[in-house]
Amino acid sequence: MEESSLISLNVGGLLYSTTRSTLSSHSPSLLSSYIQGDTSVSSTIHSLPDGTIFIDRDGTLFSIILNFLRTDRLILCDSFRDMVGLREEAAFYQLPALIHRIPSPSENGGGYITLGYRGTFAYGRDGQADVKFRKLQRILVHGKASLCREVFGDTLNESRDPGDHDFSDRYTTRLYLKHQCLEKACDAMAEKGFRLLSTCTSGANGLSSHQLMSSGLSPGGQNV
């Protein structure tokens, strides 16, 4: 690699090293414009006498920005919570692709949502559930009404509990989704930053009589 392709950056006092191609990987953006010689960004990005690029922004969050430019992936540790700050930094660097991938922080301060379903499973060979025979009548949604509305949007059916849309602290167990795709519901929650805490199932109708499963289940289908 040629030495001229290397770039040193000082972002909020933290030093980084990367390449011109990395900083130009998402174009147009603030960094790609600077690399291409756009003088309009000189008020926010400064070149020091030793050639280091100085940016007066959050140096810690820049590591996430730089990793995104390198890998085209948003990489966050499990303990990361500053979604608002990261979104602001992504906006500063003019990276709409990154902004789109940052989970939206709930305006309600977070919370929990429980998904349930009404349906049956038909078991195939070796006691394995074959999704081709799965039949879900309804996916139930339990939690704070405003949070459920934020996560599921137009796919949420509130006809059984319309309530007051301006009352954000109302909790309900009477909402359900307009579709019957459990994977789609889980994807919607994951995109909003939710993580799976636990699962519980009572199995399919007639599961307690299945020869491979009956020894571990009570007549009601619950684990014992």
**Domain map of the chain by residue range?**
3-101, 113-216
Rounded CA-CA distance 78/97 in Å is 21
Is cis: bond before 28, omega within 30 of 0?
Answer: yes
Residues whose CB falls within 8 Å of the CB of residue 169, separated by 6 or more in sequence, listed in order: 144, 146
Rounded CA-CA distance 8/17 in Å is 5
Please say whether the beta carbons of 149 and 161 come within 8 A. Answer: no
Looking at residue 86, what is its pLDDT? 93
Residues whose CB falls within 8 Å of the CB of residue 122, separated by 6 or more in sequence, listed in order: 129, 130, 133, 134, 204
Regions in the chain scoring below 50 on pLDDT: 1-3, 107-108, 166-167, 204-224
State pLDDT tens for residues 188-208. Answer: 888 887 888 887 765 544 433
Looking at residue 204, what is its pLDDT? 44
If you search the block for the tokens 């020869």, which residue do you land on?
211
**3-101 placed in CATH 3.30.710.10:** yes
Q: Which helix (H) or strand (E) element contains residue 99?
A: helix 96-101
Looking at residue 149, what is its pLDDT? 87
Task: Specify the pairing of strand 156-157 against strand 53-55.
Answer: unpaired
If you search the block for the tokens 């006809």, which residue do you land on?
159
Looking at residue 213, what is its pLDDT? 30
pTM: 0.51
Rounded CA-CA distance 195/76 in Å is 13
Q: Which two tokens stand for residue 144?
A: 């704070």
Rounded CA-CA distance 72/77 in Å is 16
Q: Which helix (H) or strand (E) element contains residue 211?
A: none
Rounded CA-CA distance 211/224 in Å is 16
Looking at residue 106, what is its pLDDT? 53
